[in-house]
Amino acid sequence: MISRAAGVPLALALAGTLALSACSGGGEKKVTEDQSPEEVLAAAATTLSETSGVNLTLTTDNLPDGVAGIVKADGVATNQPAFEGTITVIFAGQSVQVPVIAVDDKVNAVLPFTDGSYQDIDPKDYGAPDPAQLVSADSGFGSLLGVTSDLEEGESVRGGSDNSEVLTTFTGTVPGDAMKKVIPSSSGDAFDAEYLVSDDGELRQAVLTGVFYKNSDEMTYTVDFADYDTSKDIVAP
């Protein structure tokens, strides 16, 4: 497997959390001790694809030098499918924020160095995914869960806004062709994946490490998912 040195283990990233067993915490939970890692991730993928909407944030702190690429995406993805938010890219050596609305099979963006109006673009021209498909069952981040091999279950920790949730880590390897469906610029043969799943069966975080840009070094993208079942009416500009 690819080295995980570039990524920060999820359990360590949850500052102030308390290690405990996966069955801790109150209330009826969707994740149980007798489920295999494959079953947990399959259920989490279904939950993500079926939610009405979710707040999604993608970030990286180690975009390779000289690469023109995405360093952050932040917005709401819905099952219309649609996305509204801002994507931050490194372009000509500068960090540029690009407002994006993707809906009705079109991606509209305010490109840098233009008059500030939305333009219809093809994200593949920039090696980027269609933001409206980021939580789709076929080509969204959830699609990676079912093809992740060498799955291992890690520690469970307390987390969430009031520290009342149980969050479990799962690690494995994603094949390059599956990653390319989600992030078209990716060119690695395999990617290390580390997932964080809540006891309610929600994928909360995915840490993905590998070669995302041709002829570049390995890097890590961290994708956070919050506020499942968010409702937002996204319309074309």
Model pTM score:
0.86
143 torsion bin: left (phi>0), alpha (psi -120 to 50), beta (else): alpha
What is the tens place of the pLDDT at every residue in 40-56?
999 999 999 999 999 99
Q: What percent of the chain has pLDDT over 70?
A: 88
pLDDT band (50, 70, 90) for residue 29: low
Closest to 54 measured CA to CA, from 78, 81, 72: 78
Provide the pLDDT for residue 7.
Answer: 43
- What is the residue range of 162's domain? 19-226
| Tokens representing residue 89 in the block | 């890219």
Determine, yes or no, domain membership for 5.
Answer: no
Determine, yes or no, domain membership for 146.
Answer: yes
What is the tens place of the pLDDT at every residue in 132-141?
999 999 999 9
- How far apart, in Å, are the Cα atoms of 53 and each of 39, 40, 160, 167, 184? 23, 21, 19, 21, 23
What is the tens place of the pLDDT at every residue in 154-201?
998 888 778 888 999 999 999 999 999 999 999 999 999 999 999 999
Determine, yes or no, domain membership for 115.
Answer: yes
Top pLDDT among 29 and 161 is at 161
Which residues are CB-neighbours of 20 under 8 A, at least 6 positions away? 156, 157, 158, 166
Which residues are CB-neighbours of 24 under 8 A, at least 6 positions away? 156, 158, 166
CA distance 140 to 153: 22
What CATH number is attached to the domain comprising 56? 2.50.20.20
- Mean pLDDT of all residues in 216-227: 97
pLDDT above 50 for 27:
no
How many domains does the chain contain in total?
1
Mean pLDDT, all residues of the chain: 87
Q: For residues 2 and 176, is the Cβ–Cβ distance under 8 A?
A: no
CA distance 184 to 173: 18
Determine, yes or no, domain membership for 6.
Answer: no
Consecutive H or E run containing 73: strand 70-78
SS3 (DSSP) at 193: strand
